[in-house]
């Protein structure tokens, strides 16, 4: 990957992070003020003694909540993701296995031209890894105990280089924000649905008059937004993740000059049928492989493209082995003309 393409990718990810936050704030504003608008239209024809919704308190609360959550996700998101896995920071390597990891992370940081990220160990026997943080200066790499146990040094180097690629490309900022906001949007939608169940039967029909048709239209749009928002944000995070996994695989091959090592690592990881239970599904797009059972991720086609958080493993491995074959062919001496 050329420096020009790299810088373009970094700038693209930074801009997408900004637009993600803007979209998140606008969604919360719509959920809040859209509800206010529906209530205002519905109650403005009520008799004077009945409740009239004038102060947009739903929008004010939702907007304030959204701003607070966006700030929290920005400042505390990486720490919350790590805390949710029960990860422990590696300070002083106490075993040869941990020392090897520490050395490999330092080597790949130098190769990528980045500060050495903090290293975290997750007590889970399923092999997996992820990177998180706001930028290369606040980055973290977390690996499971199962990953350290099953990979040799070259394979571990390939996995760490893959995570370094996410750090260098500013994928970590975008994907950490997504991890936080996907969960928050789902929570907000659930809270508002509970609010509707609790308050929906009160003050609905007044004075024998029919409901305002415009209020009904706004209310329907509002309800559809509540229902679809968690699904849309989840699909968005998965689409973002799939595209960046291919890029990170290619960057790993560039940093290590050994694409076959990462292919071999992915084959070993895929050979474990279990799930990485320490990593929540909401953070799946941060990981090098899907932390779930990976049944959907093994498939190709429309359903997998919609539901899987990662590209099909076979396709990733095939691409990496193709890179290795091309590099080996290019390095082999050409036959001299006779």
Residues 276-287: pLDDT tens digits? 888 876 677 788
Is residue 321 within 8 Å of residue 329, measured between CB atoms?
Answer: no
For the chain (338 residues), the mean pLDDT of every run of 10, in chain order, is 55 67 72 79 83 84 75 80 93 95 97 96 95 92 96 97 92 75 67 61 47 71 73 66 80 92 94 83 79 60 57 89 83 55
Per the structure block, which two tokens stand in for 5? 């393409």
Distance in angstroms (rounded) separating the CA atoms of residues 172 and 285:
10
Is residue 10 within 8 Å of residue 169, measured between CB atoms?
Answer: yes
Distance in angstroms (rounded) separating the CA atoms of residues 194 and 207:
27
pLDDT at 23: 73
pLDDT at 208: 43
Which contacts qualify for 212-216: CB closer than 8 Å, 24 or more apart?
A: 212/41, 212/42, 212/44, 212/45, 214/41, 215/38, 215/39, 215/40, 215/41, 215/42
pLDDT at 211: 57
Distance in angstroms (rounded) separating the CA atoms of residues 50 and 208:
13
Phi, psi of 144 (to 5 degrees): -85, 160
Catalytic residue among 89, 97, 107, 163: 163
Angle formed by the axes of helices 3-43 and 213-256, nearest 10°: 160
User: Per DSSP, what are the bridge partners of residue 121?
Assistant: 88, 143
Cβ–Cβ contacts within 10 Å for residue 148, how many?
17
Q: If we measure between CA atoms, which residue out of 143, 107, 109, 105 comes closest to residue 126?
A: 143
Q: Which domains does the chain have, with CATH numbers?
A: 3-75+179-226 (no CATH), 85-171+240-330 (3.30.2010.10)
**3-state SS assignment for residue 325:** helix
The yes-or-no answer on residue 145 being catalytic is no
Is residue 73 within 8 Å of residue 180, measured between CB atoms?
Answer: yes
User: Per DSSP, what are the bridge partners of residue 144?
Assistant: 122
Angle formed by the axes of helices 171-199 and 57-85, nearest 10°: 130
């Amino acid at each position: 990957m050329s420096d020009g393409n790299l810088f373009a990718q970094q700038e693209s990810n930074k801009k997408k992070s900004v637009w993600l936050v803007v979209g998140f704030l606008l969604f919360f504003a719509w959920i809040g003020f859209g509800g206010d608008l529906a209530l205002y239209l519905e109650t403005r024809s009520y008799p004077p003694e009945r409740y009239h919704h004038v102060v947009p308190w739903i929008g004010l609360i939702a907007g304030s909540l959204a701003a607070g959550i966006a700030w929290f996700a920005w400042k505390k998101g990486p720490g919350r993701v790590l805390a949710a896995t029960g990860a422990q920071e590696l300070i002083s390597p106490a075993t040869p296995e941990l020392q090897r990891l520490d050395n490999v992370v330092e080597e790949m940081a130098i190769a990528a031209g980045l500060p050495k990220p903090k290293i975290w160990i997750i007590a889970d026997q399923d092999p997996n890894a992820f990177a998180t943080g706001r930028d290369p200066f606040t980055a973290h790499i977390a690996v499971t105990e199962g990953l350290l146990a099953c990979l040799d040094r070259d394979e571990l180097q390939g996995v760490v280089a893959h995570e370094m690629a996410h750090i260098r490309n500013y994928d970590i900022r975008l994907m950490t924000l997504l991890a936080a906001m996907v969960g928050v949007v789902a929570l907000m939608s659930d809270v508002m649905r509970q609010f509707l169940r609790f308050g929906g039967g009160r003050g609905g029909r007044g004075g024998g008059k029919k409901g305002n048709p415009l209020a009904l239209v706004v209310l329907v749009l509002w309800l559809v937004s509540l229902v679809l928002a968690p699904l849309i944000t989840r699909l968005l995070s998965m689409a973002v993740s799939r595209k960046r996994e291919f890029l990170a695989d290619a960057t790993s091959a560039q940093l290590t000059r050994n694409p076959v090592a990462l292919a071999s690592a992915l084959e070993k990881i895929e050979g474990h049928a279990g799930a990485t239970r320490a990593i929540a599904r909401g953070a799946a797009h941060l990981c090098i492989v899907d932390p779930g059972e990976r049944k959907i991720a093994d498939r190709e086609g429309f359903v997998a493209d919609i539901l899987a958080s990662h590209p099909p493993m076979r396709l990733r491995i095939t691409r990496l082995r193709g890179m290795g074959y091309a590099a080996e062919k290019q390095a082999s001496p050409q036959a001299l003309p006779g």
